[in-house]
Structure 1
Amino acid sequence: MSQIGVTRESSPAAMHRQAKLVFRQATARDAAALAPLVLASGELEFAYLLGGTQAEREAFLRQAIASDGGRFSWRRHRVAALGNEPVAVLAIQDGRANLLDDPRIALDFLRAFGAWRSGGIICRGLVLEREIPAPKRRQTLLAHCATRSDMRGQGVFRALFAHTMRARLLPARAGQTLFLDVLRSNTRAAALYRELGFVALDERADRTPKLPVHLRSSRMRFSPGDAVAGSYAPT
């Protein structure tokens, strides 16, 4: 689930704001600020998966992000913050640490929506996972990538990604591969990902006809040799 609205920006005001950014691990206290950001990272996907109103979807994410475990937990997220307020986010979903993700998210659904509604959510989740598969043991999925609307176009996410690479929080060694998924309609985000060093893989042949066409996505693999010079500094 990826939606980014940033470009390289060198205006004095933008550079001043970037200078004040703090890059850090998210905390449970960030849940209220992160919920709308994570929701914005995949509005169409969350609307399909959870149904209901935007307020209900955001409330679910606040609860899930505040929890100590699972794919939505604050523990999986890195943020760029101004003061204490997160303004950009990314999630690191390591395939070596996701064994309990499915039972945990099912429990989160039950707590938030009850048994009857959760059944439909879980069924739609299985359909969606055919398009956006969970990472395998030797894979890490970059997800929930978003920037607050008033901070877009200022290079904030680019700076967060670069900091995460410099801190070696994303896989760089042989045998562990970094992926992300982007909606095929989100050409702006795909262009940025290419600048950061991601390359599109061949289209998957096992797509399910049950998935709405507007949720078709492309998987991209991180290949640093293909990054645009100056886009990030991994060392």
Structure 2
Amino acid sequence: MSLMIRRATPADADACVPLIYSSGPAAFERVFASGQLSAQDFLRPAFCSGLGQFGCQQHWVIEENGQILATGTAYSGRDTLAYGLRSARQIIASYGLGAALGVLGRGLAMERLIPPPPRNTWYLAHLGVATQARGQGLGQQLIEHLEQQGRAAGFERAALDVAVSNPRAQALYERLGYRLEKERRSTIAGVADHRYLAKVL
């Protein structure tokens, strides 16, 4: 395949938002589904804004002949405060203040299962590959690209979380050198236990 890896843009929302959602649908639904809004209804304007951890400016895509086949992002604990404030603003704008309090509360509960990364760790997230493109090495290419971004930024350690219900993804991460460091038990209905894996960059 002739592939290109590039930064995402707002025009990529139709392809990227479902892929981001696919990286953790149960968690996204638990936090962001509220009233008439689905998780993807929230993710779309957040992605198009370009800002925060869900913004297109933080995401990379793998594209072939104009078709987006994979997306993902990476950041560190140094971004936690700025991302948290941005997400809070996006949540209030999408849900209104009353419903936003419930979304923010569920988000904080989810952070006990999937906490923000340590300050000096390069954290990979929102990794999604289109169904028809799986098994072709795109996940590995995306991860290696994100890792290179971390090395260029001076990070010596990378990490990610994976649901225990996704053994295929965990097997890929382990082939790429990630090793289990923690397993966190979920107390959230419908959301699986999660494993924290890390590697030296």
What TM-score does the superposition give when structure 2 sets the normalisation length? 0.89
- TM alignment of 1:137-148, pairs within 5 A: 137-148=119-130
Task: Give the whole-Å Cα distance in 2 for the aligned partners of 1:39 and 1:69.
Answer: 17
What secondary structure sits across from 2:126 in the alignment? strand
Question: Which amino acid is 2:87 matched to?
Answer: I
Does 2:172 align with 1:192?
Answer: yes
Greater Cα radius of gyration, structure 1 or 2: 1
Deviates most, 54-63 or 110-119: 54-63
Task: Give the whole-Å Cα distance in 2 for the aligned partners of 1:175 and 1:83.
Answer: 33
Show CA shifts across 1:129-175 (max 9, x none).
0111112321221000110111112211112223444xx20237886
Cα–Cα, structure 1 residues 174 and 58, in superposed 2: closer, same or farther, change >3 Å? closer
Over aligned residues, Cα RMSD in angstroms? 2.3
Q: Which residue of 1 aligns with 2:32?
A: 50
Deviation at 1:122, TM superposition (A): 0.6
Task: Give the whole-Å Cα distance in 2 for the aligned partners of 1:173 and 1:143.
Answer: 17
Deviation at 1:102, TM superposition (A): 1.0
Q: Which residue of 2 aligns with 1:171?
A: 151
What secondary structure sits across from 1:200 in the alignment? strand
What secondary structure sits across from 1:71 in the alignment? coil
Show CA shifts across 1:76-122 (max 9, x none).
11111113332101111222233211111111111111122211111
Question: Which amino acid is 1:160 matched to?
Answer: L
Deviates most, 76-85 or 36-45: 76-85
Does 2:196 align with 1:219?
Answer: yes
Identify the structure with bigger relative contact order (alpha carbons < 8 Å, sequence gap 6+): 1
Cα–Cα, structure 1 residues 179 and 112, in superposed 2: closer, same or farther, change >3 Å? same
Q: Which residue of 2 aligns with 1:182?
A: 162
Identity between Structure 1 and Structure 2 (%): 32
Show CA shifts across 1:27-47 (max 9, x none).
222122211110111101011
User: How many corresponding residue pairs?
Assistant: 201
Q: Which residue of 2 aligns with 1:118?
A: 100
Q: Which residue of 2 aligns with 1:15?
A: none
Question: Which amino acid is 2:166 matched to?
Answer: N
Q: Which runs of 5+ in 2 are unaligned?
A: none
Task: Give the whole-Å Cα distance in 2 for the aligned partners of 1:36 and 1:53.
Answer: 20
What secondary structure sits across from 1:202 in the alignment? strand
What secondary structure sits across from 1:220 in the alignment? strand
What TM-score does the superposition give when structure 1 sets the normalisation length? 0.77
Q: Which one has the bigger strand percentage?
A: 2
Task: Give the whole-Å Cα distance in 2 for the aligned partners of 1:138 and 1:71.
Answer: 17
Does the 8 A contact of 2:70 with 2:128 survive in 1? Answer: yes
Show CA shifts across 1:29-78 (max 9, x none).
21222111101111010111112489732221111111132111112111
Cα–Cα, structure 1 residues 94 and 155, in superposed 2: closer, same or farther, change >3 Å? same
Task: Give the whole-Å Cα distance in 2 for the aligned partners of 1:75 and 1:221.
Answer: 25
